């Protein structure tokens, strides 16, 4: 059974979230999904969807592109909900030039996760090295960490593997230009990778440009099975176990 470890159902991007929720509830290949918040509003929405839909779990946090005027205090109260399995997505994004502010939010949120014994979901857009620097100089996730939609670089991969941190593969590995991602996919240890759609963003081939949804995770599984020369069932089983090991509240 498949777990989509990172996806978004929220009003920012979808007109009819219920349609996408129903599609997941009715899909017998999907065991569960982690619906990831981007700010306090979408984190709240994610918790309320998880409360009424057994397949849905929630990750809450403030994404680096949405940090303006966000109340970190409210994360504490929300995180005690039984279906909140992680803090995220949090991280750094080089497309905005407020990295100093972004770093403050990242550090504070890792501290919250450590205090609450939760893993973190990291968003890194061309910031792998700066984030590792923060881990080493300021605060390191104590209860697990995944770099979602991993931007491949072998030095970062080595650091993550050495620390028992995870990487997650999304639609990028289905693209023709994904040579480096495929290299990473072929060498990452079996116990340290997850799969995700990051839907409604980054649709895999052959659906690029369309609204992405969880059922498209099959293309990602297919590609990983080709690269790692194993069966798709094996990819499903490995990533299912890895996801539950990292996100302990899913068990
Ligand atoms: Zn995301």
CATH number at residue 38: 3.20.20.140
CA of 121 to the centre of ligand 1 (A): 9
Contacts of 191 (CB under 8 A, 6+ apart): 238, 242, 245
Q: What is the pLDDT along the chain (251 residues), one digit of tens a residue?
A: 999 999 999 877 788 999 999 999 999 999 999 999 999 999 999 999 999 999 999 999 999 999 987 788 889 899 999 999 999 999 999 999 999 999 999 999 999 999 999 999 999 999 999 999 999 999 999 999 999 999 999 999 999 999 999 999 999 999 988 899 999 999 999 999 999 999 999 999 999 989 999 999 999 999 999 999 999 999 999 999 999 999 999 98
What pLDDT score does 186 carry?
Answer: 95
CA of 148 to the centre of ligand 1 (A): 7
- What's the number of domains the chain is made of? 1
Which pTM was predicted?
0.96
Rounded to an integer, what distance in angstroms lies between the CA atom of residue 230 and that of residue 139? 37
What pLDDT score does 10 carry?
Answer: 81
Residue 176: domain span = 2-250
Q: What angle do CA 217, 233, 159 make, to 5 degrees?
A: 70
Contacts of 241 (CB under 8 A, 6+ apart): none
CA of 183 to the centre of ligand 1 (A): 22
Task: Please identify every residue whose CB atom is under 5 Å from ligand 1, which is an ion.
Answer: 198
CA of 199 to the centre of ligand 1 (A): 7
Q: Which helix (H) or strand (E) holds 175?
A: none
């Amino acid at each position: 059974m498949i777990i989509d470890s990172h996806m978004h159902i929220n009003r920012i991007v979808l007109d009819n979230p219920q349609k996408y929720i129903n599609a997941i509830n009715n899909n017998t290949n999907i065991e569960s999904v982690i619906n990831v918040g981007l700010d306090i509003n979408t984190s709240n929405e994610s918790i309320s969807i998880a409360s009424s839909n057994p397949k849905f779990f929630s990750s809450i946090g403030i994404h680096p592109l949405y940090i303006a005027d966000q109340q970190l205090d409210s994360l504490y109260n929300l995180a005690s909900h039984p279906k909140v399995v992680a803090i995220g997505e949090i991280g750094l994004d080089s497309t905005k030039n407020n990295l100093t502010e972004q770093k403050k939010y990242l550090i504070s949120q890792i501290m919250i996760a450590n205090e609450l014994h939760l893993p973190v979901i990291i968003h890194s857009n061309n910031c792998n090295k700066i984030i590792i620097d923060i881990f080493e100089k300021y605060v390191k996730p104590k209860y697990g960490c995944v770099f979602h939609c991993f931007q491949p670089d072998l030095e970062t991969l080595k650091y993550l593997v050495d620390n028992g941190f995870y990487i997650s593969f999304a639609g990028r590995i289905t693209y023709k230009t994904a040579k480096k991602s495929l290299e990473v996919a072929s060498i990452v240890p079996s116990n340290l990778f997850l799969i995700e759609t990051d839907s409604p963003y980054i649709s895999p081939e052959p659906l690029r440009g369309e609204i992405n949804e969880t059922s498209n995770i099959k293309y990602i599984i297919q590609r990983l099975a080709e690269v790692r020369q194993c069966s798709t069932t094996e990819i499903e089983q490995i990533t299912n176990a890895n996801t539950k090991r990292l996100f302990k509240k899913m068990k």
